[in-house]
């Protein structure tokens, strides 16, 4: 069993402010330990279920957040951005059996979503074939491009709710619940136990999960907060301006959507 783990930070337990998730702030050093421990919980759950190879993708901000010496020694760690269209899913291919997502958050403009945003923070919405997507959904389609299912996500309650709407079957763990800009969180040790147990349960039946794959042709629409970004993106070959803030592209190969996304965002 070969497992891919994508780890973000905004969705880990107790983290509630961007100051705690950015390297320039002192609180970051405290919360990156929680990030690493939640990644370890997922690794331990996968190993307990029989995983023989695990790749962990550091997928937050600088992509240099997880503490290598604290990470479980049975996992390999992928750090930094290569600037390829795979982004948070760098290294995924069709050799993997399943994807686990840890520390994930809801899409931009989600009510009671803790630190909700979509990718760069300059995006209002991303949709494919008319379906609005959080980062989890976009990454799920990238995994689906290689016929690999996303079987687990941990984060706030809002992303768990969105996951259950997007995926036919997925194991979810909500480690906190947003209340406006505040959050109600479980204890870090409790969160790790919940993640470990749920991952083990999901990995034991990984073959019962379905990859997220939409029918071609694919129409991706990106809505920006700033009209200038939409103007710039409209110059991409084949792109069309949908409105003042939005640009669309239609293609038959989902990889072309991925390439469009990386070049215009």
CATH number at residue 180: 3.40.50.10780
Q: Are 81 and 147 members of one domain?
A: yes
Q: Are 146 and 90 members of one domain?
A: yes
19-49, pLDDT tens digit by residue?
999 999 999 999 999 999 999 999 999 999 9
Domain boundary among 167, 188, 208: 208
Domain boundary among 161, 177, 208: 208
Whether the predicted pLDDT of 62 surpasses 90: yes
Is residue 8 within 8 A of residue 135, CB to CB? The reply is yes
129 is a domain residue: no
172-203, pLDDT tens digit by residue?
999 999 999 999 999 999 999 999 999 999 99
Instruction: Please give the full DSSP string across 218-232, using - where no structure is assigned.
Output: EEEEEEESSHHHHHH
d(CA 254, CA 213): 10
Domain boundary among 188, 208, 228: 208
pLDDT over 70, % of the chain: 100
- Please state, in angstroms and as integers, the Cα–Cα distance from residue 14 to each residue in 20, 53, 77, 180, 260, following that order: 10, 30, 24, 14, 35
Parent domain of 192: 2-117+134-208
Confidence bin at 121 (pLDDT 50/70/90): confident
Work out the average pLDDT over 5-18. 98
125 is a domain residue: no
pLDDT computed for residue 105 by the predictor: 98
Q: Are 200 and 102 members of one domain?
A: yes
Q: Are 113 and 187 members of one domain?
A: yes
d(CA 90, CA 60): 12
Q: Are 167 and 231 members of one domain?
A: no
Q: For residue 83, what is the DSSP state?
A: -
pLDDT over 90, % of the chain: 99
- What domain count does the chain have? 2
Around Cβ 86, how many Cβ atoms within 10 Å?
A: 21
Length of the chain (residues): 265
Q: Are 168 and 228 members of one domain?
A: no
Confidence bin at 218 (pLDDT 50/70/90): very high
Q: Are 196 and 239 members of one domain?
A: no
Q: Are 204 and 222 members of one domain?
A: no
Q: Are 239 and 138 members of one domain?
A: no
The closest alpha carbon to 254, from 153, 134, 143, 98, belongs to 143
d(CA 246, CA 143): 25
Whether the predicted pLDDT of 223 surpasses 90: yes
The whole-model pTM stands at 0.97
- Token pair, residue 131, equals 């379906």
pLDDT computed for residue 13 by the predictor: 98
Q: Are 66 and 140 members of one domain?
A: yes
- When computed from its CA atoms, the radius of gyration of the chain, rounded to whole angstroms, is 17
Q: Are 169 and 245 members of one domain?
A: no
Q: Are 53 and 141 members of one domain?
A: yes
213 is a domain residue: no
């Amino acid at each position: 069993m070969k497992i891919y783990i994508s780890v973000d930070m905004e969705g880990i337990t107790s983290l509630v402010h961007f100051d705690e998730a950015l390297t320039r702030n002192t609180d970051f050093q405290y919360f990156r330990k929680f990030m690493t421990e939640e990644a370890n919980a997922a690794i331990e759950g996968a190993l307990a279920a029989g995983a023989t190879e695990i790749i962990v993708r550091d997928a937050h901000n600088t992509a240099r957040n997880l503490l290598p010496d604290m990470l479980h020694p049975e996992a390999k760690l992928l750090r930094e951005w290569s600037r390829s269209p795979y982004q948070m899913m760098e290294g995924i291919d069709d050799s993997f059996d399943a994807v686990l997502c840890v520390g994930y958050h809801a899409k931009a403009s989600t009510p009671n979503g803790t630190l909700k945003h979509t990718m760069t923070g300059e995006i209002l919405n991303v949709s494919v074939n008319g379906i609005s997507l959080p980062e989890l959904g976009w990454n799920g389609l990238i995994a689906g491009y290689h016929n690999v299912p996303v079987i687990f996500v941990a984060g706030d309650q809002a992303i768990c709710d969105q996951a259950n709407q997007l995926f036919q079957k997925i194991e979810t763990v909500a480690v906190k619940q947003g209340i406006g800009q505040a959050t109600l969180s479980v204890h870090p040790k409790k969160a790790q136990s919940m993640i470990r147990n749920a991952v083990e349960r999901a990995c034991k039946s990984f073959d019962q999960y379905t990859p997220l794959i939409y029918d071609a042709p694919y129409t991706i629409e990106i809505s920006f907060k700033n009209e200038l970004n939409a103007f710039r993106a409209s110059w991409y070959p084949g792109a069309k301006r949908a409105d003042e803030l939005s640009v669309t592209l239609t293609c038959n190969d989902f990889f072309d959507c991925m390439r469009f996304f990386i070049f215009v965002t």
